[in-house]
Amino acid sequence: MDGFYDDVIAVDGAEIAYSIGGSGPPVLLLHGFPQTRAMWQPIAMGLSARFTVVMADLRGYGASSVPGQAVPQDCAAYSFRAMGTDQLALMQRLGFERFHLVGHDRGARVAHRMALDAAERVESLTLMDIVPTHLLLSDLRCPVAKSYYHWFFLAQPHPFPERLIGADPDYFFESCLLGWGGAQLSDFAPEAIAAYRAAWRRPEVIFGMCQDYRAAIAHDLALDGADLGRKICCPSLVLYGEDGVMAREYDVAATWEGWLADMTVVALPGGHFFPDTAPEPTLRAIQAFLEGFEGAQ
């Protein structure tokens, strides 16, 4: 990607692959399932004119390392807290003590946990197409469970989901991309699809993604439950796909009222994967939010 370079940094317990480019205040972009940091390319290019943009692969995803393969029954290393600690260490190693934080899907859940655990590090928070993890799991609705069945399939003990997915990873993961809002494969940039396939065809990455979902139930539900009633005070932007499952099944803004003290909410065209399928409106929404901060160049 023009103007960006790729590297890997060793943090405590993992190696995190990232891309960095641009100039100005730092912004960290975190991808979701079943993607990699490649999802951000058009958005990152647009932001890089005024911001220093870091795109990172979560541990277990993309080109980042996949710890814990020797002890698959222990998924604690894939909690949102653990994955957030990776990203906080990455940004500190890059020299960014405070930064704007943007996440989609699993990346948004990691970002939410980072803002709770290290509020002093987060200048602003952007969450894309999620409702709080604790709400989704503690008040599970039948239509949500049907659409988001993968939460519970991927969380089954190793190696059950890994073996089934490994028989045809493209079929399984592309069915995920095409759900949750009715996208078509042609809606995704060919280079992004190529990057996703290259990652999810690797057995260790399939394992890492399953560990992520196992940890959500085994660890993150309790961690978020312990923080009920705590509000994140930094300015926060909530984006959601107007045709997605979250918009259909929830009042997305209302779900975040107990967590975010200073919140702006915007609906964007498309389903769950609107950063891939509608990158220009997504970029405009992020730019409008971030450029309101003092120091944007």
Residue pLDDT, tens place only, 97-141: 999 999 999 999 999 999 999 999 999 999 999 999 999 999 999
Identify which of 189, 158, 199 has the alpha carbon closest to the alpha carbon of residue 33: 199
Residue 295 falls inside a structural domain: no
Q: What is the CATH number of the domain that holds 157?
A: 3.40.50.1820
Q: What is the spatial distance between Cα 157 and Cα 71, in angstroms, rounded to a whole number?
A: 12
Q: How far apart are CA 263 and CA 1, in angstroms?
A: 32
Active site (annotated) includes residue 272: yes
Residue 182, pLDDT score: 72
pTM reported for the whole predicted model: 0.98
Amino acid letter for position 60: G
List of the chain residues with pLDDT < 50: 296-297
Which tokens go with 223?
A: 């961690």
How much is the pLDDT for 116? 98
pLDDT of residue 9: 97
Distance CA 256, CA 267 (A): 14
Q: Is residue 297 part of a domain?
A: no
Active-site entry in 86, 129, 272, 276:
272
The confidence score (pLDDT) of residue 294 equals 59
Give the structural domain span for 194. 4-290
What is the full DSSP assignment across 52-118?
EEEEEPPTTSTTS--TTTT-TT--GGGSHHHHHHHHHHHHHHTT-SSEEEEEETHHHHHHHHHHHH-
Based on the structure, what is the number of domains in the chain? 1
Residue 159 lies in a domain: yes
Q: At 214, list the tokens.
A: 């196992």
> Would residue 156 count as lying in a domain?
yes
Q: Which of 86, 105, 129, 212 is catalytic?
A: 105
Compute the distance between CA of residue 183 and CA of residue 205 in angstroms, rounded to an integer. Answer: 24
In a domain, 296, yes or no: no
